[in-house]
Amino acid sequence: MRNALLALAASTALAAPAFADGHSNTIVDVASEAGSFTTLLAAAEAAGLVETLSGEGPLTVFAPTDEAFAALPEGTVEGLLEDTEALTAILTYHVVPGAVMSGDLSDGMTATTVNGADITITIGDSVMVNDATVVTPDIEATNGVIHVIDSVILPPQ
């Protein structure tokens, strides 16, 4: 399970494969630079997944924004931060091993997440991951790719 988690970014301008000074621009770096993924990063830290998301990869992360976390019922995030097992299950449900670009997706396809459960991709007027809409696709990092989504997806119970 620690072999992945989510991270995100808000703009492709932040997603260059590497900084000019040679430092890597990992999923965590991109999420930190974006500034709109503080809840996700705090959750990743609480679950002990930051190091994994900064590792080699490649990983594909379907990353919910702070607004997506804020839309959860009141007290949900706080409860998850105290239940690292449940938190890890949810976070790893947003991560697929390998780098999957939007051009690799097809309508109705499923992908097995690091959590072990499958997500379903639907392509129509927009690209959906389960019930979440992809709002910014294909943000590249040195260790994978991020697709920003507008809601938190929950694994099957």
Six-digit token string for 129: 């991951």
Q: Using an 8 Å Cβ cutoff, are 16 and 25 in contact?
A: yes
pLDDT, position 35: 84
pLDDT(129) > 70: yes
Q: How many CA atoms lie within 13 A of 113 on its CB side?
A: 26
CA distance 6 to 41: 8
pLDDT(5) > 70: no
Q: Is 38 helix (H, G, I), strand (E, B) or coil?
A: helix
Kindly provide the b/e burial profile for residues 89-104, where b requires at least 16 CB atoms within 10 angstroms of the residue's own CB: bbbbbbbbbebbeeee
Comparing 21-25, 33-37, 94-98, 100-104, the range with the smallest average pLDDT is 21-25
pLDDT, position 23: 53
Backbone angles phi, psi at 77, to 5 degrees: -60, -45
pLDDT, position 97: 95
Six-digit token string for 44: 């990743």
Query: Per-residue confidence at 3, pLDDT binned at 50, 70, 90?
Result: very low
Q: Per residue in 25-80, pLDDT tens?
A: 999 999 899 888 999 999 999 999 998 899 998 999 999 999 999 999 999 999 99
Structural domains of the chain, ranges and CATH numbers in brackets: 12-149 (2.30.180.10)
Q: Quote the radius of gyration of the chain (alpha carbons, Å).
A: 14
pLDDT mean over 111-130: 96
Q: Is 119 helix (H, G, I), strand (E, B) or coil?
A: strand
pLDDT(1) > 50: no
Amino acid at 115: N
